[in-house]
Structure formats: structure tokens, C-alpha cells
Amino acid sequence: MSGLVLALPVAVPLLAAGVLVACPGGRRAQRLITSAVSAGILVLSAVLLAGSLDGTVRGLSMGGWPPGFAIVFAADALSTLMLCVSAALVLASLAFAAGTGDDASPWFAPLAMILSAGVYGAFLTADLFNLFVFVEVMLVPSYALLTMSGGRARTAAGRIYLTFSLLASTLLLAGVGLVYGVTGTVNLGELAGAARQSTAAALAVGVVLLALAAKAAVVPLHGWLPRTYPEAPPAVTVLFSGLLTKVGVYGLLRVYAVVHEGTGLRWPVMAAALLTMVVGVLGAVGERGMRSILTFHMVSQIGYILLGLALFTRAGLTAAVFFLVQYVLVKAALLMCAGAVETAYGTDRTDSLARREPLIAAAFLVSALSLAGLPPLSGFVAKLGLVDAAATESDHLAVGVAVGVSFLTLVSMVKIWAGSFWGGEDPSREESLLRLMARATVRPALAVPALVLTVPSVVLGIAAQPLLTAAAEAAGGLLDASAYVRAVTR
């Protein structure tokens, strides 16, 4: 397949957004368009992924101008893997939004399409300024979706989310400016190894990394995420969880691998990774609501991925990429469970769900155990990979922290399970819940997306090897970026 198709994941959703704005039609028509587009991109990215497993990197110079002057898209194993999982997540979120009714507004679908175009573009571009643009294409719809339909709590959260993201974006822009100031280029390929060759370039790229870290919610730049995500409409939280911070993480992986060639920042990255893991999980165990716990957790998971980046070995990067992919799906399933409960009961602080909502309970259970890294689920393979990689590097502090954080993850998942799914010890609560029971159950339309997303948890654990192979290929592309660099410069 030629590189020409690389533009489709950006162009088609934007076109679809235009069509959706023009003729909103019924909700059914909107759902048909959005899911067809997302499914198409999922298939396309799966084909691209299959084609990149042999190390091929496809490049596309926009407008046919010479690379280096044009904006270049590149698809290697990492990019296509991210594309795949994002498209799958968009599809799942749209299905879930149809269940929760979050897609009631005619503006929801076009905004979701623009957002997804931004995400795909960010994963594909090999141009720092273009990355900034696509991050904005992704963020501006997210502002709108977060604050959807207003209300005091949501606008307050929206204000924090928006201002923080905007500050990070401004930093990113300034960083790109400084990079251009030092090197005279914003093409990632031409920047290969720049940070190793000059301190000035390293500092300029440092600002870019700082901005990406803020977008990825790396501690101490994480506070906005647990504060704002739980306030979003349930389906929007799912959409955000799998896409937004992941763009930041992807950016960190790519830029650090290409521009720093994976060296020079081992200790700062490791410190950030461990701190992020610990603070994220502690914050999670301290929260009360289901969604709050789950969103605070996201911070901790970012730390795990950074751990692999800090190690920058084949095993570490493979584990980090594997972790990233499976965790996006697992976390989405968990947030769908919480969102389904919230939609049906009006709150996520319920109890006795194990008895009343067996489907949700099953979906939650599998995903929570996977998140906690219990075998034989996907989260186990991911955590084992990271622990193994850290131990091989004799980084015993990292091993200890990873395992300790894993334990606290279990604590937090058990907190949810014992509180919301067993629970019911408090007789006064029981009484009020009896009334709730009378009127509320989770409709199948709400439970099915979460159940479907538990399938990868199991499959990626028991049959982990195919994804591990893809992740290893992605890791290889980060370890040795020369093929990527060739594809985007030529």
C-alpha cells in the first residue's frame, strides 16, 4: 500500500465532520457516519500496521513538496499501533456514547470526528510544528466535549482543563520556536540526534518535552487530569482517557527517541516515571468515587510507560508500548463500567452491584484484575515486562516501586469492588438503594461496549505474543530511529 493513504485518517474525519455539521439528520444517521469512518480507519491502520511489522516505514510528503520543506507523515510500527488502538477506542466510545445518550447533541459527532482527526494526525506527523497544530485540533474539541451542556461543576472543571492545556500548548509552541531558532528545522528527521550534539538544542527540545509531559499528566504536572476528567460526561471521559494523554506520551517517546536518541535524560525521566507512578496510585487510593479513582489511576499508568522510556532498552520499550496499548483498552472498559453505573443510577457511589448488575460486574472484574496486573490478563504481561526489563538493568529501585505501585493498584481496585460491588453493609444506605433498585438497571446497550472491551484484556494476556511482536517492532523503531529518519527526510 502506498504512503498516499496516510493522509486519510486526518482528511476523512474532517470531511465527515463537515458532512455531519451540514446535515445532522437523525442521530442514527450520525452514528452510522461516525462509526463507518472510525471502523474504516481501524481497518486501514491495521493494514498499515501489518505492513510495518517488517520494519518498513512509510512516508508521505504533504502536497508533494520535497521532504524537509513539506510536512511529512510517517507510519512505522509505533505510529500505526497507536493509530489502531485509537481508532478502536473511538469506535468503542462512540458506541458507549450512544448508550449513555451523551451523543444527543448534533454537535457531539462532528466534534468527536475533529478530535479523532487531531489524534491521528499527531500520531502520524513527523513535524514538530504540525504536531503542535494537531494537538490543538485534538484539544479544542475536547474543551467543548468536556464542558458539554454547561453546568457549574463542568464549567469549573472545563476552566481548569482548558487553561492548563492552553498553557501546555503555549509552552509547546515556544519550544518548537526555540528548536527552530537553534536548528533551523522542525522536521523530526532532520533533528535526529540534535540534542546529543548541542546543549542549546537539548534545552530547546527540553521545553518541548516539558510541554508534552504536561499534556501526558506527568507528576508534578498532573493535577488537572484527576480534577477534571471525572466531571466530563461518561462517554467523553472514556474518549479522553484513551486518546489525549496518550498523544503526550507518544510525543515523549518519539521525540526522546529521535532527538535525544534515548540518552542524556535517563535520571530525570526515571525520577519522573517513579514519582508519577507513586503519586498517581496514592491519589487513586485516596479518592472515593469510582470514576475519580479510575482517572487518578491514569496518572500512575503514565508513570509505568515512562519507566520503559527511561530504561530505553528493547525489553523496556517493548513492555512500555505493550503496556500503553493494552492499558488504553482496559482503562476504557473500566471507565465504561463506572459510566454505565453513573448513567443508570445517577451516581457512581453505589453498592451491591455484583448482585444487581452481573454484566457490569463481570466486565469490571476482568478489567480491574488486568489493571492490577493479575495473571493471566494483559496487564500482567505488561507489568511483568516492565519489571523484568528493570531487573535486567539492575534497576532495583524501579523494580520495587513498580511492584509496590502494582500492590496499591490492587488496593484501589479492591476498594471499588468491596465498596460498590459487594458493599451494602450500611443499613441506611441499603434502604435508599432499595428505592434505586426499583427504578434503575444498566441497559444492555450500556453494558455491551464494556463487555466487548474486556475481550482484549483476556486475549492480550493469554495470546500476548502477537502484540508483543508488534510492540517489539515499535520498540526497535525507537531504539534505532534510522529507518524513520530516512522515511521523513530522504
- Tell me which residues in 375-394 interact with other proteins (CB under 8 A): 375-376, 380-381, 384-385, 387-389, 391-392
Instruction: Write out the DSSP string of 143-157.
Output: HHHHTTT--HHHHHH
What three-state secondary structure class fits 206? helix
What dihedral do alpha carbons 407, 336, 231, 251 form, nearest 10°? 70
Single out the residue of 48, 178, 371, 416 in contact with other proteins (rule: CB under 8 A): 178
Per CB under 8 A, contacts with other proteins among 114-133 are 114-115, 117-118, 121, 129-130, 132-133
Does 433 contact other proteins by CB under 8 A? no
Residue 127 phi, psi dihedral angles, 5° rounding:
-130, 125
Single out the residue of 29, 40, 51, 61 in contact with other proteins (rule: CB under 8 A): 61
User: What is the nearest approach in angstroms of other proteins to the Cβ of residue 298?
Assistant: 12
CB neighbour list of residue 267: distance below 8 Å, 6 or more residues apart: none
199 or 482: whose CB is closer to other proteins? 199
Per CB under 8 A, contacts with other proteins among 213-232 are 214, 220-224, 226-227
CA distance 283 to 296: 6
Per CB under 8 A, contacts with other proteins among 73-102 are none
User: What is the nearest approach in angstroms of other proteins to the Cβ of residue 341?
Assistant: 18
Q: Which three cell numbers stand for residue 408?
A: 496499591
The answer to whether the beta carbons of residues 269 and 309 sit under 8 Å apart is yes
Q: Which three cell numbers stand for residue 218?
A: 506527568
CA distance 65 to 83: 25
What three-state secondary structure class fits 74? strand
User: What is the nearest approach in angstroms of other proteins to the Cβ of residue 140?
Assistant: 4
User: What is the nearest approach in angstroms of other proteins to the Cβ of residue 81?
Assistant: 17
Single out the residue of 1, 25, 55, 199 in contact with other proteins (rule: CB under 8 A): 199
Report the 10 Å Cβ neighbour count for 184: 8
Q: Which three cell numbers stand for residue 277?
A: 507512578
CA distance 306 to 301: 9
Size of the site for other proteins (CB under 8 A): 149
Would you give the binding string for other proteins spanning residues 238-267, x where CB under 8 A is met? ------------------------------
Single out the residue of 29, 39, 50, 282 in contact with other proteins (rule: CB under 8 A): 282
Q: Which three cell numbers stand for residue 35?
A: 462509526
Geometric angle at alpha carbon 207, from 201 and 211, rounded to 5°: 145
Would you give the binding string for other proteins spanning residues 447-486, x where CB under 8 A is met? -----------------xx--xx--x--------------
CA distance 180 to 176: 6
Would you give the binding string for other proteins spanning residues 134-163, x where CB under 8 A is met? x-xx--xx-xxx-xxxxxxxxxx-xxx-xx
Single out the residue of 36, 263, 425, 482 in contact with other proteins (rule: CB under 8 A): 425
Would you give the binding string for other proteins spanning residues 293-322, x where CB under 8 A is met? ---x-----------------xx--xx---
